[in-house]
Amino acid sequence: MSQKVLLSSKEINIILHRLACQLLENHLSFENTVLIGIQPRGKFLAQRLTKILKEEYKVKQIDLGFLDITFYRDDFRRGDKTLEATKTKIDFLIEDKNVVLIDDVLYTGRSINAALTALQSFGRPKDVELLCLIDRRFSRHLPIQPNYRGRQVDAINDEKVKVMWEENDGEDIIYLVNR
């Protein structure tokens, strides 16, 4: 198994600031917009973007939540390994709000499909957008595209994109891994 660096810490930081600026352009005060990180890995991206928006761009209030999609996945009972659920934390209303779903890697689109289904349990948003750090654009099984993307990656099926976050893995780096 070999791996090559796709994005360094510096490149990730630049992309995060660009994504934060794009969100700011479209949502200004965030009074009618909520950010929801898809558990488990989208949580780190959502937290980092929220921190940048608050600290560097002085957005006063951002509703940030985390959505577990484990039991909404269409492959929930298909594999040999038992899936472990994480925690959903959405302590605000999404009814008539603009929701930005956030995940680290957009691959087949199935996780986003599960997130859209899970989101319905919390109300009916006015609008739903998708933000992803890495878009594996030629791997889609469903017609789902991001509104905001950090980087497009053309990876073949036996390659995996591995996103590592300082908060969880000790460093910010993204690898393209050959299995």
- Taken in order 22, 165, 54, 100, is the CA torsion positive or negative? positive
Report the distance separating Cα 53 and Cα 147, nearest Å. 18
Task: Dig out the tokens for 5 from the structure.
Answer: 């660096």
Give residue 77's pLDDT.
55
Task: Dig out the tokens for 144 from the structure.
Answer: 């789902």
Report the distance separating Cα 154 and Cα 157, nearest Å. 10
- Give me the tens of pLDDT residue by residue for the chain, a chain 179 residues long: 789 999 999 999 999 999 999 999 999 989 999 999 999 899 999 999 999 999 999 999 999 999 999 888 766 555 566 666 778 999 999 999 999 999 999 999 999 999 999 999 999 999 999 999 999 988 888 999 999 999 999 887 788 999 999 999 999 999 999 87
The predicted model scores a pTM of 0.93
7-20+31-74+85-155, CATH topology level: Rossmann fold (3.40.50)
Q: What are the angstrom distances between the C-alpha of 156 and each of 104, 111, 123, 164?
A: 18, 19, 37, 20
Give residue 156's pLDDT.
78
Q: Give the residue extent of every domain in the chain.
A: 7-20+31-74+85-155
Residue with tokens 């479209």: 26
Contacts of 121 (CB under 8 A, 6+ apart): none
Query: What SS3 class is residue 173?
Result: strand
CB burial of residue 13 (10 Å; 0-12, 13-18, 19+): middle
